[in-house]
Amino acid sequence: MKPGFLILLFLTALKITAQEKNSVDFKHLQAEVTIIPSEAAVKGKLVYTFDVLQPTDTVSIDARKMDFEKVLLNGEKIRFFNDEKQLHLLSSFEESEANSLSFTYTAFPKQTMYFINTRPEGEPAEYQVWTQGQGKYTSHWLPSFDHTSEKVEFDLTIFYENEKQVVANGLLQKSEAVNDTLTRWAYDMEQPMSSYLVAVAAGDFERVEEISENGIFMHHYFPRGMEDLVEPTYRYSKEIMFFLEKETGVKYPWQNYKQIPVRDFLYAGMENTGATIFSDIFLVDSTGFNDRNYVNVNAHEMAHQWFGNMVTATSGEHHWLQEGFATYYALLAEKEVFGEDYFYWNLYQSAEALKQMSDSGKGESLLNPNASSLTFYQKGAWALHILRELIGKEAFNKAMKNYLEKYSFGMVTTQDFMAEVEQVTAKDLSAFRDDWLLQSAFQGTAALESLKRSAFIRSYLEVAAQKPLPIESKREKLAEAFSFPVKDRVGEEAAYQLALEDPLEVIDLYKKAFDSNNLSVRQAIAFSLQRIPQQLKSRYESLLKDDSYVTREAALFNLWMNFPQDRLRYLQETDGQQGYLDGNLRTLWLALSLATPEIPQNLKKEYLEELSGYTAPHQRFQLRQNAFDYLFQLNAFSSRNIYDLLDASRHHNFRFRDFARKMLKQVLKMENLLPEDKALLEQHLGINSQVQN
**pLDDT digit string, tens, across residues 309-364:** 999 999 999 999 999 999 999 999 999 999 999 999 999 999 999 999 999 999 99
The 3 state secondary structure assigned to 195-214 is: HHHCCEEEECEEEEEEECCC
Whether the Cβ atoms of residue 276 and residue 375 lie closer than 8 Å to each other: no
282-296 average pLDDT score = 97
> How big is the CA angle at 394 (ends 246 and 446), to the nearest 5 degrees?
110
252-261 average pLDDT score = 98
273-293 average pLDDT score = 98
Q: Tell the burial category of 111 from Cβ atoms under 10 Å away from its Cβ (0-12, 13-18, 19+).
A: middle
Q: Specify whether the backbone of 456 is left (phi greater than 0), alpha (psi in -120 to 50) or beta.
A: alpha
**pLDDT digit string, tens, across residues 170-215:** 999 999 999 999 999 999 999 999 999 999 999 999 999 999 999 9
pLDDT: which is higher, 4 or 662: 662
Q: Can you list the alpha helix ranges (DSSP code H) found in 183-268?
A: 230-233, 237-248
Whether the Cβ atoms of residue 102 and residue 169 lie closer than 8 Å to each other: no
Q: Work out the percent of the chain whose per-residue pLDDT is above 90.
A: 92
- Give the whole-angstrom CA distance, residue 652 versus residue 119: 18
Q: Tell the burial category of 192 from Cβ atoms under 10 Å away from its Cβ (0-12, 13-18, 19+).
A: middle
Whether the Cβ atoms of residue 115 and residue 108 lie closer than 8 Å to each other: no
pLDDT value, residue 22: 77
pLDDT value, residue 687: 52
pTM exceeding the 0.85 threshold for the entire prediction? yes
pLDDT value, residue 375: 98
Whether the Cβ atoms of residue 150 and residue 28 lie closer than 8 Å to each other: no
pLDDT value, residue 604: 98
pLDDT value, residue 148: 95
The angle, 0 to 180 degrees and rounded to 10, between the axes of the packed helices 455-464 and 340-359 is 50
**pLDDT digit string, tens, across residues 138-163:** 999 999 999 999 999 999 999 999 99
Q: Is the pLDDT of residue 657 over 70?
A: yes
CATH homologous superfamily for the domain 311-453: Neutral Protease Domain 2 (1.10.390.10)
Kindly report the length of the chain.
693
- Give the whole-angstrom CA distance, residue 84 versus residue 314: 26
Strands 217-223 and 257-262: parallel
Q: Which overall architecture, per CATH, does domain 204-283 show?
A: 2-Layer Sandwich (3.30)
Q: Is the pLDDT of residue 624 over 50?
A: yes
Q: Work out the percent of the chain whose per-residue pLDDT is above 70.
A: 96
Instruction: Give the pLDDT band of residue 12 (cuts 50, 70, 90).
Output: very low
pLDDT value, residue 680: 86
**pLDDT digit string, tens, across residues 436-484:** 999 999 999 999 999 999 999 999 999 999 999 999 999 999 999 999 9
Looking at domain 1-203, its CATH class is mainly beta
Of residues 253, 105, 263, the one with CA closest to residue 190: 253
pLDDT value, residue 690: 43
Whether the Cβ atoms of residue 120 and residue 616 lie closer than 8 Å to each other: yes
